[in-house]
Structure 1
Amino acid sequence: MHPSRLIAAVALAAALPVAAHASQELATSKNCMACHSVDKKLVGPAFKDIAAKYKTDKAAPAQLSQSIVKGSSGKWGPIPMPPNPVSEADAGALAKWVLSL
């Protein structure tokens, strides 16, 4: 790759929003890990259990994103999930990350 193209590619990657790189670090920074874990139930279900439940549901990314933003109740038992103050982009990225587990 030509050096000027490499510099342009690095600059473009640096300009991408953090939400495009959702990970456990993003989940931790948005306080998701206070109630959830990747592989075991805490207050809420394990992220891997969520991924397994919705693995064939094509609407799952949008549904989970809305549950993150607006909260939900009754999907995993009696304890409701409160709404979370995250951007739509972060919620979408978090939903996709959870479903990838």
Structure 2
Amino acid sequence: MLSKTVLLATVLASLSIGAQADKMTAMKSGCMGCHQPDRATVGPSIRDIAAKHGGDADVDALVAVVKKGKTADELTWGKIPMPASPAPEADVRTVISWMLAQQ
């Protein structure tokens, strides 16, 4: 029984560490400058993004938007354009997956 408890604790700890690493990638990539977990600032909150795109998200399309950015004519969230992200595509995918899991 103890080994099952230790195994469960190890799995939960590794999931937590993974989520923290994904959040750190979001911070390192500059995403958190405009997107906060629970409130809209410059851009929509991470929870609002997750709620809008949820489980049916087209991750490839979201990666394309983040990499390209959005002009004022293309906006869907507000009045401030989203700049193109210089982050590597792998980091953008990591951040998007993390954001979508924040429902």
Q: TM-score, normalised by structure 2?
A: 0.70
Q: How has the CA–CA distance of structure 1 residues 90 and 78 changed in structure 2, closer, same or farther, with 3 Å as cutoff?
A: same
Native 8 Å contact 2:25 2:94 kept in 1: no
SS at match of 2:26: helix
What are the residue-to-residue correspondences of 1:42-57 with 2, within 5 Å?
A: 42-57=41-56
Q: Which runs of 5+ in 2 are unaligned?
A: 1-19
Q: Kindly provide the amino acid, as one letter, of the partner of residue 94 in structure 1.
A: V
Aligned CA RMSD, in angstroms, stands at: 1.6
Offset of residue 57 of structure 1? 2.5
Specify which structure has the higher proportion of helix.
2
Q: TM-score, normalised by structure 1?
A: 0.71
Query: Partner residue of 1:35?
Result: 34
Q: Percent identity?
A: 39
The answer to whether the aligner puts 1:70 opposite 2:68 as a matched pair is yes
Q: Structure 1 stretches (4+) deviating beyond 4 angstroms?
A: none
* Count of residue pairs brought into register by the alignment: 80
